[in-house]
Amino acid sequence: MKTQNKKPKKELTVEQKITRRNFISFTAFIVLAGGAFEGWRWLYKSPEETAGITGGTRGPLRRALNKTELFFRRVFSDNHLVKTYPKSMAAKHVRVNSDIGVEANKKFDPATWKLQVNKKGGEVLQVSLQELMALPKTEIVYDFKCVEGWDQISHWAGVKFSDFIKHFNLDDYAKMQYVGMETPDKGYYVGIDMPSAMHPQTLLAYEVNDKLLPLEHGAPLRLIIPVKYGIKNLKRIGTITFSNTRPHDYWAEQGYDYYSGL
């Protein structure tokens, strides 16, 4: 029988163990930091996205954002309803946030206002507030959320966007991918994907707390779209346009998420 004469493995001292671990973690740190730096350099050098509708960030970042948007659009189907509340929980004083395109010093007469719907071939459908108010009225009390970090349960009423489409025989237009809305002075504008516009809780609203909208909340007509952040809830709708490409969007141009869904 042969016995192998193995040298007994030398026990490392505590000191040696520490040195060795330090070495391993330091090397790992260098490798990871190098990776992070290279990643950052790659991102920094990569071309900007095509300028136009969105804010001009790096291409790969926008691609990642678009992927997340697609994910959410698939997960949250149209029949997903935003949570609603009893009227008693609605704020009595609804916060007024921002006034682009509805500035108080701007001349605007709600009495002569008409909603302008751009149709094919340059045809414009004009709709008065009275016509809209004659359609079935829908109310909603929900938690209005602004990207700036505040939210408020508020009570709105108006015509469902989908009812408006049906009533004015705009079904063919609603087959397009987007709807764009602008203030009468074109100072503020939003682009909405059609599934969100046709969502059963999306309203062309003319009332808040059972009263006609005051000017600062977008009189005579505003968009209330509970599946989106406040930025998409355009106050004082002047024109509506349909398209298969993304309409321009005030905050998306500044780099905010185009979809801005909740």
Ligand X SMILES: Nc1nc2c(c(=O)[nH]1)N[C@H]1C(S)=C(S)[C@@H](COP(=O)(O)O)O[C@H]1N2
Q: Which residues bind ligand X (CB under 6 A)?
A: 94-102, 146, 183, 188, 217, 230-231, 233-236
Least distance CB 155 / ligand X (angstroms): 12
Q: Which does 186 bind (CB under 5 to 8 A by kind): Mo ion, ligand X, none?
A: none
Q: Which does 96 bind (CB under 5 to 8 A by kind): Mo ion, ligand X, none?
A: ligand X
Determine the Cα–Cα distance for residues 167 and 226; give it in Å rounded to an integer. 22
Least distance CB 230 / ligand X (angstroms): 3
Least distance CB 55 / Mo ion (angstroms): 16
Determine the Cα–Cα distance for residues 136 and 158; give it in Å rounded to an integer. 8
Q: Which does 139 bind (CB under 5 to 8 A by kind): ligand X, Mo ion, none?
A: none
Least distance CB 66 / ligand X (angstroms): 22
Q: Which does 102 bind (CB under 5 to 8 A by kind): ligand X, Mo ion, none?
A: ligand X
Instruction: Find the helix packing angle between 14-45 and 59-75, rounded to 10°.
Output: 90
- Rg, the chain, Cα only: 28
Task: Reply yes or no: is the peptide bond before residue 220 cis, omega within 30 of 0.
Answer: yes
Given a contact cutoff of 8 angstroms between Cβ atoms, the answer to whether 233 and 140 are in contact is no
Beta bridge partners of 224: 203
Interface positions with Mo ion (CB under 5 A): 146, 230-231
Residue 50 one-letter amino acid: T
Least distance CB 97 / ligand X (angstroms): 4
Burial class of residue 227, CB neighbours in 10 A (0-12, 13-18, 19+)? buried
- Looking at the Cβ atoms of 194 and 224, the one nearer to ligand X is 224
Q: Which does 160 bind (CB under 5 to 8 A by kind): Mo ion, ligand X, none?
A: none
- In the bound state, the residue with its beta carbon closest to ligand X is 230
